Amino acid sequence: MQTLNKNNKVLFVLASLNGGGAERLSVDLANNASEMGMDVSLFVGNYTGPYVEQISHSVQVKRGSGAGLSKSLFSLAQLIRKGEFDYIFCSQEYVICITYFALLLSGKAGSCKLIAREASTPSVNVIKNFKGKLFKRLIKQVYASVDTLIAPTASVKEDIVQFYGINRRVEVLANPIDEYKIKREALENACSESLPEPYIVTVGRLIESKGVQTILAAMSKAKSSKFSLVVLGEGEFKSDLENLTRQYGLEDRVVYLGFKSNPFPYIAKAGLFVLASRYEGMPNALIQASILGVPCCSSLSTGVVKELVDDSCIFQYGNDKELTTILDRVFEDKELPVNKNYSFLSPKQFIENVFEF
């Protein structure tokens, strides 16, 4: 184990600054590492997205080509070669692969440590077609070769080892949570919309596997119609969800607000937070809602859910009947879920652990 040196030069690598959990995490970590006195650079392939404004002025930003990160392979390699970095941190399979090959091209593989973080569940996330099989073989080689490989939960670690068939040490380190920042931002006057209360809220990219369609189906069957749904996020499944909303006759009870760089005021005012995903590497939004004292229910998308949510408020992915039962208890019988206590690392504690592996 190495000792943390706050004079270390660290490079964080991102494909873009779009509104995803991995992007938000990397920006938060870069900001905190800089506050701790480290010499921090952030390389972004496509320097666009809502998180641009959240980057600290003390973080040195390096821009890529503006296209996919693969188009910035050689400029990233050149930066690594000239930058004399001690560590590189990156998350997500695609970004990890590009960064790994950039490190090889730079000739710094022996002197610069590559720390890779798997953000999701690969057995579910990796596409099963021919292209996906080739990508799986590539990821297997890369994951076997990086200096440190991190998983957010024990279940994700097990999935990495089994799915890729790799025989190496995988560190388990839960995603950091900045409790003070979450509570501070929840108090900001960011809710310009007039929202119908009480409402349930769900947060995430609008793709089928996030399960918003299950929430809509459950709402349509619930005994009470005196609550609404606020959906925070964007994605290719949005038009399908809007069509379902009309089919269920829920147009007056469902509000699609799009992506919010600060979702916490919306979460804090909710009567219930619902996570309906098929899978989650680490359910950040669920943890954040729990920190804000919002009653939560969730699909069993990862083993961590049982550490956060009472068993009576957990439902199977896609099972709208089970979710309807929970909604009836909350809005008809007035039985609010009680969240479990959960311990987590602050961003600075996460950084101290990452660079000590």
Residue range(s) defining the domain that contains residue 258? 180-331
Phi/psi zone of residue 115: left (φ > 0), alpha (ψ -120 to 50 degrees), beta? beta
Q: 253 pLDDT exceeds 50?
A: yes
Same domain as 94, residue 48? yes
Q: Per-residue pLDDT averaged across 122-151, rounded?
A: 87
Same domain as 223, residue 123? no
Same domain as 22, residue 168? yes
Same domain as 307, residue 297? yes
| Model pLDDT for residues 242-251, shown as the tens digit of each residue | 999 999 999 9
Q: What is the pLDDT of residue 4?
A: 58
Q: What is the pLDDT of residue 102?
A: 97
Q: Per-residue pLDDT averaged across 44-64, rounded?
A: 92
pTM: 0.83
Same domain as 185, residue 169? no
Tokens of 245: 């909303």
Question: Which CATH number goes with the domain that contains 263?
Answer: 3.40.50.2000
Q: How does residue 67 score in pLDDT terms, banded at 50, 70 and 90?
A: confident
Q: Per-residue pLDDT averaged across 263-289, rounded?
A: 92
CA torsion angle 242 247 250 251 (round to 10): 50
**DSSP string of 322-337, one letter each residue:** HHHHHHHHHHTS----
What is the CA angle 355-98-113, rounded to 5? 25
Amino acid at 126: V
Same domain as 237, residue 153? no
Contact 9, 39 (CB under 8 A): yes
Tokens of 202: 């769900």
* H helices, E strands: number in the chain: 14, 13
Q: What is the pLDDT of residue 35?
A: 94
Q: How does residue 317 score in pLDDT terms, banded at 50, 70 and 90?
A: very high
Put the strands of the sheet holding 148-151 in their side by side order: 60-63, 39-46, 9-16, 87-91, 113-117, 148-151, 171-172
Same domain as 14, residue 147? yes
Q: 1 pLDDT exceeds 50?
A: no
Same domain as 160, residue 271? no
Domain annotation covers residue 301: yes
Q: 7 pLDDT exceeds 80?
A: no
Tell me the pLDDT of the chain averaged across its residues.
91
> What's the number of domains the chain is made of?
2
Higher pLDDT, 199 or 342: 199
* Residue spans of alpha helices (H) in the chain: 21-35, 73-83, 93-106, 122-125, 130-145, 154-164, 179-186, 212-221, 238-247, 264-268, 284-291, 305-308, 320-331, 347-354
